[in-house]
Amino acid sequence: MATIFITGSTTGLGAMAGKKLGLAGHLVIFHARNEERAAVLRQTRSNAIVVGDLSSLDQAFDVATQVNELGPIDAVIHNAGTYGGPINLTTEGIPATFAVNVLAPYVLTAKIENVGRLVYLSSGMHQARPVAADPLWRSRAWSGTQAYSESKFYVTALAKAVARLRPDTFANAVDPGWVPTRMGGSSAPDDLDAGVATQVALAAGASEVAALSGEYLHHMAVRDAATGTSNPEVQERLLGLCFELSGAAM
């Protein structure tokens, strides 16, 4: 039995992954953005629940502390994400899309102790190469869709960087597909069960794909990630930016 922490697990793919892992006998730690969502979750779950808004650096650090207090942790599924809309800056002046989709997984990876399996939720949209000179949209006209695509490029690069820097850790990125969740919308054409299967298998460590590390997967198969995500120079620039913003050393 593994102990598995899932970010953004009150609804959608995160909740579904938690349910499947729990039914398989694993101990699941759920995550809610705020106490209101945690209260709803407690109505249906007796599991441990940690609370914190991952768009806030202080709260991301606190989430890591809460998880460590429940440890040891065998696997983390970095499922929480945000998509599109007008630019929304955090209290630290960081676009929330970058803060939630990239910086929070970085902080949790740096601060949650001795995790053997790390799963990062990417997207088929990650192929849009970021503008390296302006990753935080300081000078560009904002595009919510482009910012989301870039954030998924970055989190895919983060997964590959962790696999490179931590050879004893299994770290992979997963594209769940365009599935009918609150984020994906009710008309999304992909299958929810298929959308959650890969991250569940990777976190549980009980299938052939669980032996992989540094890969980008979709529906239980390795796929080609954007070329730049495997480039150590790109990865190091990303890690440097995340360290500069957070002060958390990988």
Predicted confidence at residue 180, as pLDDT, reads 54
Tell me the β-bridge partners of 51. Answer: 32
pLDDT digits (tens, 9 = 90+) for 136-167: 999 999 999 999 999 999 999 999 999 999 99
Predicted confidence at residue 101, as pLDDT, reads 98
In order of 35, 70, 114, 121, the CA distances from 2 in angstroms are: 26, 13, 13, 20
Residue 133 contacts by C-beta under 8 Å, 6 or more apart in sequence? none
Range of the structural domain that residue 34 is part of: 3-246
Task: Give the active site residues.
Answer: 148, 152
Q: Say what the pTM is.
A: 0.95
Q: Please answer whether residues 193 and 179 qualify as being in contact, where contact means their C-beta atoms are separated by less than 8 angstroms.
A: no
Predicted confidence at residue 90, as pLDDT, reads 97
Q: Which H or E element spans position 107?
A: helix 104-111
Terminal-to-terminal C-alpha distance of the chain:
27
Q: Where residue 106 sits, what CATH number does that domain have?
A: 3.40.50.720
d(CA 191, CA 133): 37
Confidence of residue 206 (pLDDT cuts 50, 70, 90): confident
Domains in the chain, number? 1
Q: What is the Cα gyration radius of the chain?
A: 16
The mean pLDDT value for 179-185 works out to 53
Q: Which residue has the higher pLDDT, 50 or 178?
A: 50
pLDDT digits (tens, 9 = 90+) for 71-123: 899 999 999 999 989 999 999 999 999 999 999 999 999 999 999 999 999 99
Give which of 151, 142, 7, 141 is closest to 88, Cα–Cα: 142
Give which of 40, 44, 50, 53 is closest to 76, Cα–Cα: 50
